[in-house]
Amino acid sequence: MSLFKPTRRAFLKAGTAATALVGLAPAVLRQAAAQEADLSPYKSAKIDWQQTSGETITVAVIPASYFDNLIAIAPQFKTLTGIDVRFEKIPPAQIRQKSVIDLTSKTGIYATHAADPMYYSLYAANKWVEPLDSYVSNKSLTDADWFKFDDIIPAWRNADSIDGKLYGVPYDGEVTIQVYRKDLYDAKGLKPADDLATFVSNAAALNTPNDRVWGTALRGVAGAGQNMYIYPSIFREFGGQWFKGGKLTVNGPEAEAALAWYVELMHKSAPTAAANWNWPDIADAFSQGTLASYIDAHSSASVVNNPEKSKVIGKVAYARWPKGPSGKRVTSIWNWGFPINAALPEKKKKATWLFIQWAASAETQARTAHRFAGPTKRSGVNRTSIWRDPDYVKLMNGFGHNFVEATMESLQSDTDVDWRPRVPQWPAIGDTMATAIQSALSGQATVKAALDDAQRRVEPMMRG
């Protein structure tokens, strides 16, 4: 459905030769990693890593380079703990359904899985996953001084918590930012937009379809993780509140203004085809030089900087979300986190926690990011400390002007826990809203009619 990065392959400086090795790399690296791995950084933790030695757990992840890197160094985990980890790769469109089926039937197939943060409400309401606070505070399972849980980016920890209880530990995440063509902006004397109105005028100024350059594009295709990934930011920036007097409200003046802004922008300054585009299509079009700007996940920077495909390397720059009429900038708090399946026997739960702790630890995050031996590095590490690490920052600056600053400032100032309505009914609400947004975009319904209809459909969903 939403935010996978299957093509986060090559990194700017790695070059073609390095990317040619991608196919071979995992096997080679896995062996090398198992032999040479220095486990002392892990062993400094004051816990018994071997306490559930001999267990086998299955972990569902999506096919994406940030998980591939983790799989590549997983033999180190086996050596450290004696736990066998079997990884199963499931495309993002299916991983939610598969894990929901596993959880609801209590088969316990997946000890943990890469979870959509919007699903924790549903999981928690059904008690399908374990509250994790007791694991974090259990001294025999977690060395707090070593794990430094508070170092994990706060917005993502909040996104993975319901009513103050932690249900998942973030592994990799992203924020949405403006990506723009610095050369085109400079040629017209434009600056990256500071508010939504300027974003519209910038896009209009650069929109020259006859030269095959369009002003901008936002996700247009319907889906809880597609158009309903971008729209909530606009809705919140226009001052929208998902809950008015405890009642979920998706229509009203703020919503209408937000959706009208989106529809008008897409009609006036985006290619017609963008109505069916998801982020990979947007990033591809941008890397071919046909878009002057877009707002999407910061991790799409790796696509627009792919030396094999991109024609705009060196011309890309970044900025935070433009401010809305409410004065707010609202970015995504998306992350892939790991929960613990409540249907597991006690010992497996412990083994799963050890895996989660290992994967989310600063050491593993570094080993799968800037210290990873392969050509693909991660741009969504979960640790504030790594985002301040000069080695990592240097690597990330290769993506273009202002990349690290825009990402960090967004992470620190623009995240909003109420970005999307976090309720167990989210799958239904997300889909209903996605359909409404698309109806308005395609002209099947007016903005107001589409939102009012969505409201009518959402209300019975919320009635117990």
Partner 1 sequence: MTAPGASAGEDSGDLGRVLAQRERKFAMSLLAPAFLALLATTTFPLMFLIWTSTYRMDLAMPFADGFIGLENYRILLADERFWSSLLVSLIYTGSTVTLQVTLGLALALLVMDMKRGQGWFRLIAILPVVLSPAVVGMIWRTFMLAPEFGVVDYLAINAGLGSKNWLGDPLLAMISVIVIHTWQWTPFAFMVLLASLASLPEDIYEAARLDRATAWQRFRRITLPLLRPAIVMVVIMRTMVALTAFAAIFTVTAGGPGTATEILNLYAYRKSFTELSIGYGSALAVALLIVTIVISGLLFALRRAK
Q: Nearest approach, Cβ of 131 to partner 1 (angstroms)? A: 17
Q: Nearest approach, Cβ of 1 to partner 1 (angstroms)? A: 9
179 vs 275 by CB, closer to partner 1 = 275
Answer for which of 124, 263, 436, 447 binds partner 1 (CB under 8 A) is 436
By CB under 8 A, residue 428 contacts partner 1: yes
Q: Nearest approach, Cβ of 437 to partner 1 (angstroms)? A: 9
By CB under 8 A, residue 104 contacts partner 1: yes
Q: Nearest approach, Cβ of 431 to partner 1 (angstroms)? A: 5
By CB under 8 A, residue 107 contacts partner 1: no
By CB under 8 A, residue 125 contacts partner 1: yes
Widest distance between CA atoms in the chain: 66
By CB under 8 A, residue 97 contacts partner 1: yes
Q: How many residues bind partner 1 (CB under 8 A)?
A: 39
Stretch that binds partner 1, among 78-86, 156-164, 273-281, 359-367 (CB under 8 A): 273-281
Q: Which tokens in the block code for residue 371?
A: 């210290």
Q: Alpha-carbon distance 331 to 191, whole Å?
A: 20
By CB under 8 A, residue 360 contacts partner 1: no
267 vs 347 by CB, closer to partner 1 = 267
Going by C-alpha positions, the residue among 300, 312, 317, 282 that lies closest to residue 179 is 317
Q: Alpha-carbon distance 388 to 370, whole Å?
A: 12
By CB under 8 A, residue 126 contacts partner 1: yes
The strand order across the sheet containing 176-181 reads 293-297, 176-181, 316-319
Q: Which tokens in the block code for residue 146?
A: 């070593």
The strand order across the sheet containing 56-61 reads 84-89, 56-61, 112-113
By CB under 8 A, residue 442 contacts partner 1: yes
Stretch that binds partner 1, among 146-154, 291-299, 407-415, 429-437 (CB under 8 A): 429-437
Q: Alpha-carbon distance 43 to 290, whole Å?
A: 51
Q: Nearest approach, Cβ of 446 to partner 1 (angstroms)? A: 12
Q: Alpha-carbon distance 356 to 160, whole Å?
A: 14
For residues 162, 407, 6, 102, the Cα torsion angle rounded to the nearest 10 degrees is -10
Answer for which of 138, 273, 345, 388 binds partner 1 (CB under 8 A) is 273
Answer for which of 117, 322, 339, 427 binds partner 1 (CB under 8 A) is 427
Element (H, E) at 262: helix 253-269
By CB under 8 A, residue 124 contacts partner 1: no
Category of 246 on φ-ψ map: left (φ > 0), alpha (ψ -120 to 50) or beta: left
By CB under 8 A, residue 276 contacts partner 1: yes
131 vs 398 by CB, closer to partner 1 = 131
By CB under 8 A, residue 122 contacts partner 1: yes
By CB under 8 A, residue 173 contacts partner 1: no
Q: Nearest approach, Cβ of 124 to partner 1 (angstroms)? A: 11
192 vs 424 by CB, closer to partner 1 = 424
Q: Nearest approach, Cβ of 310 to partner 1 (angstroms)? A: 18
Answer for which of 50, 272, 326, 413 binds partner 1 (CB under 8 A) is 272
Answer for which of 192, 232, 271, 380 binds partner 1 (CB under 8 A) is 271
Q: Alpha-carbon distance 8 to 5, whole Å?
A: 6
Q: Is the Cα dihedral 126, 118, 85, 385 positive or negative?
A: negative
Q: Exposure of 105 by Cβ count < 10 A (0-12 exposed, 13-18 middle, 19+ buried)?
A: exposed
138 vs 272 by CB, closer to partner 1 = 272
By CB under 8 A, residue 445 contacts partner 1: yes
Q: Alpha-carbon distance 455 to 255, whole Å?
A: 11
Q: Which tokens in the block code for residue 224?
A: 């809880």
* x-or-dash string of contact with partner 1, 210-249, rule CB under 8 A: ----------xxxxx-------------------------
By CB under 8 A, residue 100 contacts partner 1: yes
90 vs 153 by CB, closer to partner 1 = 90
- As a 3-state breakdown, the chain gives helix, strand, coil percent values, each rounded to 5, of 50, 15, 35
Q: Nearest approach, Cβ of 98 to partner 1 (angstroms)? A: 11
Residues listed for the chain = 464
356 vs 454 by CB, closer to partner 1 = 454
Give how far the C-alpha of residue 377 lies from the chain's centroid of Cα atoms, to the nearest Å.
Answer: 16
Give how far the C-alpha of residue 24 lies from the chain's centroid of Cα atoms, to the nearest Å.
Answer: 27
Q: Alpha-carbon distance 53 to 239, whole Å?
A: 52
Helix (H, G, I), strand (E, B) or coil at 381: strand
Q: Alpha-carbon distance 10 to 300, whole Å?
A: 12
Q: Alpha-carbon distance 89 to 67, whole Å?
A: 9
Residues that bind partner 1 (CB under 8 A): 97, 100, 104, 122, 125-126, 220-224, 271-273, 275-276, 423-428, 431-432, 435-436, 438-445, 450, 457, 460-461, 464
